[in-house]
Amino acid sequence: EIVLTQSPGTLSLSPGDRATLSCRASQTITSDYLAWYQHKPGQAPRLLIYGASSRATGIPDRFSGSGSGTDFTLTISRLEPADFAVYYCQQYGWSPGSFGQGTKLEIK
């Protein structure tokens, strides 16, 4: 099974800051099949990015995904209060699909 390691575990930033979240895979991800999700307590997870860099429907362009191979990044260009949440990466290039352990983005 592919292991995804997300860093940092917790990121403390202020509204208006730029956030950079990392996801590293234990093996090359086939066809850049990497997704990012936002998850707030008590809510349904929300798909942000698929295919490493494609934004899901309705996701603002403040969110961008990049990377290939084993190293992927989610960037949020200008943080808004609603962006503070836990973010997960997921690979779906290898069976079974697997998630990272999450990065908590908290208000500084």
Quick one: 47 exposed, middle or buried, by C-beta within 10 A (0-12, 13-18, 19+)? middle
Q: How far is the CB of 6 from other proteins (least distance, A)?
A: 9
CB of 17 or CB of 46, closer to other proteins = 46
Which of 56, 64, 70, 73 contacts other proteins by CB under 8 A?
56
Chosen residue from 50, 63, 72, 84 binding other proteins by CB under 8 A: 50
Of 7-15, 16-24, 30-38, 63-71, the window that binds other proteins (rule: CB under 8 A) is 30-38
d(CA 94, CA 28): 9
CB of 51 within 8 A of CB of 33?
yes
Which tokens hold the place of 95? 């069976």
